[in-house]
Amino acid sequence: MTMGFEELRNTVRGRVLESGDADFEAAARPWSLAVTQPVAAVAEVADGEDVAAVVRYARAAGRPVVIQPTGHGAAGGVDTAILLRTGALNRLEIDPVARVARVGAGVQWGRVQAAAAEHGLTGLAGSNPVVGVTGYTLGGGQSWFGRKYGWASNAVRAFEIVDAEGRPARVTVDSDPDLFWALSGGGGDFAVVTGLEFELFPAPGLYGGRVMWPAAKLTEVWDAFRELTSRAPEELSVWFSRFQFPQAPEMVGVDLAYLGDPEQGRVLVSALDRIEGAVSDTRGAMSVADLGDITTEPADPSPAMTRSELLPDLSPEAEKIILGESLAPLVSIQVRHLGGALARPASGARGALADGFLISTLGFGLPHLRDAVLAKSDAVVAEFGGLLTGKKPLTFLAPGETAAAAFDAATLNRLRAIKRERDPHTVIRANYPVLG
């Protein structure tokens, strides 16, 4: 073991690991196993004081700090960095009267939803309960309930941070308007966020689940998806997917969540009942604590490789590609319905999103599949060509993509100016740096 980080070890209460330490490889590994992270050290901080000490050390040593509670959004490119693990910052408070949650940077969405559900409330959570609240929210956060209530970043009332000088602060729209704007959907490139305070919303009921059919029903399911999305109220989100799981026949499915009376939700999606031959159907009344049950995404680290693009509408040309494209070696192609509150003006850097749909490819980044999966994803995007906008939400960027793909020029220039002002030495690096 080298002793390059002995000073940092003696300063923080949490663990500091470097190459040669027994647990280093495991500590440096992100949740996304398709991404490698050759970091110089891992600092598993115990509290906010540890965070400040790591930032001060990194600034003096001329090393960047990359922040990850889990690494769901890991993108690589972190050589020489200190990886700051915030998993121990796990404070969670629910104020049911004010309808507010206060969380540390290590809290995952599953815990928030379970605690909020006890009071008939919900956060703006996504599809996977083990995703960290903070990284998700800093990137905007596209929720099952986003069509009703907008981006998760819009719900934030305050950020607890450590700045690039190692100083703690509480940031609100009144205390620091520029930094609050940047952190509200502009990513984590401006300060180390150690905690969030955000609004919760009423959850009077929830109807959700997944229906799966054999691929022979592809056209019928697609037609039902188009029908549902053409008239869906903002409380309803519907996703369409084609699946090609290993050693299994191709399938087609619909995932949905309706925030409201379950019986009303059942009626709203009754078009799906007309499609015979469903292989499985998990639809029903459910708790917002169980949102992860809808898509049953992996809770354990996975070598998933994704590529996402925004699609303005479901044109005949786009439909032909979505339905006709051979999946292999991909596992799925998914189309998510956006719109609603996501398209309305917002006060933060995330802003409004005019595009009505998000299309994503998914494959396994295993050594024998990686190149083929990348090539196939590139080919799918190329086939869409000018039908795509070329933009995408920040948290849907793939490794190698930068924040330039997530923002218009004016927003990106403002983010870069705030970065230069707040972190001129580039001590803090998010997964998708705004300067990239």
169-215, pLDDT tens digit by residue? 999 999 999 999 999 999 999 999 999 999 999 999 999 999 999 99
d(CA 72, CA 109): 13
pLDDT band at 3 (very low <50, low <70, confident <90, very high): very low
* Token code pair at residue 271: 């078009």
Beta strands in 134-291 (DSSP E): 156-162, 168-171, 192-199, 201-202, 206-214, 236-243, 251-259, 280-281, 284-285
Which tokens is 280 given? 């499985």
Q: What is the pLDDT of residue 131?
A: 95
> Of all residues in the chain, what percent carry a pLDDT higher than 90?
86
Check residue 435 and give its pLDDT. Answer: 62
The arithmetic mean of pLDDT across residues 413-424, rounded, is: 96
Mean pLDDT, to the nearest integer, of 304-311? 95
Non-local CB neighbours of 47 within 8 Å, separated by 6+ positions? 13, 14, 88, 89
pLDDT of residue 180: 98
Instruction: Report residue 212 as tokens.
Output: 């799966």
- Band of the pLDDT at 401, cuts 50, 70, 90? confident
Beta bridge partners of 280: 212
Q: Three-state SS for 321? A: helix
Of 227, 230, 229, 165, give the one whose Cα is nearest residue 192: 165
Residue 20, pLDDT score: 87
Strands (E), 215-352: 236-243, 251-259, 280-281, 284-285, 304-311, 332-337
Q: Nearest 5°: CA angle at 33, between 160 and 310?
A: 70
Backbone angles phi, psi at 116, to 5 degrees: -70, -35
Model confidence over 282-300: pLDDT tens digits? 999 999 999 999 999 988 8
Q: Return the amino acid letter for 61.
A: A
Partners of 257 in beta bridges: 208, 237
- pLDDT band at 432; cut points 50, 70, 90: low
Sorting pLDDT into bands at 50, 70 and 90, what band is 325? confident
Bridge partners of residue 159, in order along the sequence: 171, 196
Chain segment 226-268, per-residue pLDDT in tens:
999 999 999 999 999 999 998 899 999 999 999 999 999 999 9
Q: How confident is the model at residue 1 (pLDDT cuts 50, 70, 90)?
A: very low
pLDDT of residue 246: 86
